[in-house]
């Protein structure tokens, strides 16, 4: 789904501070994390020094990139994404956990998708809601409402994404065929990064 590499430098104090605050929210539960985390990060990126040493890999035309900003072993993670122009990330899901993004530059659309099974591992999707994020604004994936979502970047964009755990794999829905003017997708597993201790230990 994407190209991923990890940051070689230790995070700066501003990043560490907001990371620890997000961890304290997670200790109170996923609901608190997804409700109070986005405005926390929105405020943090406006502070002097937040982006010191924080960079994103340049995205090639056909994929996005995922640069790890900070993430203690076995804990939540902040990743810096770069999205090429006119890129659509397939419908996908995050193991029933919430996540959120704060746009840094550009323009992103996050769409919640309603899934309908139409065959053996075949699905159709309808958009049930969309969030348009401008720089400094957030978009949230809340599995209490809907988990499957897609992302579209009409222009080259950069965003910070926060996940409650640093999963090494995810599930996406790949376009398979078209029937009666309806797009059909199949569910597949994708590896996002190399497992640190082997697949069975993640």
Q: DSSP secondary structure string, 36-91?
A: HHHHHHHHHTTSTTTTTT---PPPPTT-EEEEEEE--TTS-EEEEEEE-TTEEEEE
What CA–CA distance (Å, rounded) separates 152 from 144?
22
Domain residue ranges of the chain, discontinuous segments joined by +: 2-201
C-beta of residue 70 within 8 angstroms of C-beta of residue 9: no
Per-residue pLDDT, 129: 92
Residues forming a β-bridge with 164: none
Q: For domain 2-201, is the CATH number 2.60.120.10?
A: yes
Q: Is 19 helix (H, G, I), strand (E, B) or coil?
A: helix
What pTM does this model have? 0.86
Per-residue pLDDT, 176: 93
Per-residue pLDDT, 22: 98
Per-residue pLDDT, 177: 92
What CA–CA distance (Å, rounded) separates 114 from 149?
9
Per-residue pLDDT, 195: 66
Look at residues 68, 61, 78 and name the one whose alpha carbon lies nearest to residue 22.
Answer: 78
Lateral strand order in the sheet of 2-6? 2-6, 64-70, 77-83, 157-163, 99-105, 138-141
Per-residue pLDDT, 191: 78
C-beta of residue 160 within 8 angstroms of C-beta of residue 166: no
What CA–CA distance (Å, rounded) separates 76 from 35?
16
Residues forming a β-bridge with 151: 89, 110
Per-residue pLDDT, 138: 96
**Which burial class, exposed, middle or buried, applies to 65 when counting CB atoms under 10 A from its CB (0-12, 13-18, 19+)?**
buried
Question: Of all helices (H) and strands (E), which one includes residue 28?
Answer: none
Query: pLDDT tens digits, the chain, 202 residues: what are they?
Result: 544 444 446 789 999 999 999 999 999 999 999 999 999 999 999 999 999 999 988 999 999 999 999 999 889 999 999 999 999 999 999 888 899 999 999 999 999 999 999 999 999 999 999 999 999 999 999 988 888 999 999 999 999 999 999 876 888 999 999 998 899 999 998 877 666 654 433 3
């Amino acid at each position: 789904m994407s190209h991923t590499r990890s940051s070689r430098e230790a995070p700066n104090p501003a990043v560490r501070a907001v990371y620890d605050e997000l961890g304290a929210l997670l200790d109170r539960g996923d609901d608190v994390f997804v409700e109070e985390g986005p405005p926390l990060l929105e405020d943090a990126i406006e502070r002097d020094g937040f982006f010191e040493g924080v960079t994103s890999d340049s995205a090639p035309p056909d994929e996005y990139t995922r640069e790890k900003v900070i993430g203690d072993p076995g804990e939540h993670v902040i990743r810096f994404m770069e999205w090429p122009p006119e890129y659509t990330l397939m419908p996908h899901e995050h193991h029933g956990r919430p996540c959120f993004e704060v746009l840094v530059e550009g323009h992103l659309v996050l769409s919640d998708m309603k899934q309908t099974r139409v065959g053996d591992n075949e699905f159709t999707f309808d958009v049930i809601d969309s969030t348009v994020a401008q720089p400094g604004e957030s978009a949230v994936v809340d599995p209490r409402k809907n988990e499957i979502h897609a992302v579209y970047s009409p222009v080259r964009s950069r965003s910070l994404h926060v996940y409650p755990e640093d999963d090494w794999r995810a599930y996406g829905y790949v376009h398979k065929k078209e029937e009666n003017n309806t797009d059909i997708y199949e569910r597949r597993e994708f590896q996002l990064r190399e497992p640190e201790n082997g697949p069975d230990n993640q």
